[in-house]
């Protein structure tokens, strides 16, 4: 006897045990809540149960999509997207002002929230190579590239002596590297004064530029 052909426009289920397809419409809410929780507490204190309670989603819904906390945090990291400065560099007229504009960026809710989120992610990354790679590709490298482009533009403006151009690839990493280290030793709390000091007392002097 010939098998029946499903009517046009319908789909025949080949797996008799297949359940209802997973609804991804709530993913953005879950991932945003995960970042919020990372900002509020350390990675070690965040659980999938916390995410379920924060979003009003059933725990089974979250576990069905992400089997472990590491999987969920990795997905949240990849959902962050690149800093807006990647698409459009700040142009405040001076090197120092441009650097501070990146520090003060409203991305991810502003510098205070952004720093504690990153601190939580860096804590988790110590035991997760996949998360470490995601942080590097999604966050660190784009940030370093923004600083590199700002420094190169400052050379074009005449704010940095052209003979110091060879220092740019290394010095572009100064703010991200020092802030990452500081956040890992201060529980994620970094005040704006720290960034101002790094810019005025470390980066600009190394580039032969004044704090103007």
Q: What is the CATH number of the domain that holds 132?
A: 1.10.357
Residues 166, 104 share a domain: yes
Q: Same domain for 134 and 202?
A: yes
Give yes or no: residues 121 and 189 share one domain: yes
Are residues 47 and 131 both part of a single domain? no
DSSP of 144-191, one letter per residue? HHHHHHHHHHHHHHTSS-GGGGGGHHHHTTHHHHHHHHHHHHTTT---
Are residues 148 and 70 part of one domain? no
Residue 109 corresponds to which tokens in the numbers above? 């809710």
Residues 93 and 196 in one domain: yes
pLDDT, residue 211, reads: 55
Give the CATH number, domain containing residue 62. 1.10.10.60
Q: Which of 48, 79, 110 is the last residue of a domain?
A: 79
Task: Give me the pLDDT at residue 175, please.
Answer: 94
pLDDT at 41: 83
Pairwise CA distance, residues 44 & 124, whole Å: 8
Number of domains in the chain: 2
Tokens of 163: 């003979």
Query: Which domain range does residue 52 map to?
Result: 25-79
Are 71 and 169 in the same domain?
A: no
* Same structural domain, 56 and 106: no
User: Residues near 101 by Cβ (< 8 Å), separated by ≥ 6?
Assistant: 85, 90, 92
Give, for all 212 residues of the chain, the pLDDT tens digit. Answer: 444 444 444 444 343 334 555 556 689 999 999 999 988 887 888 999 999 999 999 999 999 999 999 999 999 999 988 889 999 999 999 999 999 999 999 998 888 888 888 888 888 888 889 999 998 998 889 999 999 999 999 999 999 999 999 999 999 999 999 988 888 777 667 889 999 999 999 999 999 875 55
At residue 148, the pLDDT reads 97
pLDDT of residue 25: 65
DSSP state of 68: S
Query: 13, 45, 79 — which closes off a domain?
Result: 79
Residue 63 domain-assigned (yes or no): yes
pLDDT in the model for residue 32: 93
Does 88 share its domain with 71?
Answer: no
Residues 41 and 100 placed together within one structural domain of the fold? no
How many whole angstroms separate alpha carbon 156 and alpha carbon 151? 9
pTM of the model: 0.79
| C-alpha pair distances (Å), 136 with each of 87, 116, 139, 144 | 18, 17, 6, 10
pLDDT of residue 1: 44
Q: Tell me the backbone φ, ψ of residue 160, rounded to 5 degrees.
A: -120, 130
DSSP, res 118: H
In a domain, 152, yes or no: yes
């Amino acid at each position: 006897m010939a098998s029946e052909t499903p009517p046009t426009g319908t789909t025949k289920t080949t797996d008799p045990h297949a359940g209802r397809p997973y609804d991804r419409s709530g993913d953005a809410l879950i991932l945003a809540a995960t970042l919020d929780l990372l900002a509020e507490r350390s990675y070690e204190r965040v659980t999938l149960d916390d995410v379920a309670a924060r979003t009003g989603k059933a725990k089974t819904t979250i576990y069905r999509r992400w089997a472990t906390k590491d999987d969920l945090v990795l997905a949240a990291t990849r959902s962050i997207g690149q800093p807006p400065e990647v698409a459009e560099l700040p142009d405040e007229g001076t090197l120092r002002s441009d650097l501070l504009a990146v520090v003060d960026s409203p991305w991810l809710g502003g510098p205070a929230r952004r720093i504690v989120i990153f601190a939580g992610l860096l804590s988790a990354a110590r035991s997760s190579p996949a998360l470490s790679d995601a942080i590097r590709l999604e966050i660190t490298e784009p940030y370093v590239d923004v600083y590199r482009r700002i420094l190169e533009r400052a050379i074009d403006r005449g704010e940095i002596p052209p003979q110091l151009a060879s220092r740019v690839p290394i010095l572009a990493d100064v703010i991200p590297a020092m802030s990452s280290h500081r956040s890992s030793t201060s529980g994620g709390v970094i005040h704006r004064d720290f960034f101002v000091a790094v810019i005025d007392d470390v980066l600009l002097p190394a580039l032969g530029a004044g704090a103007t």
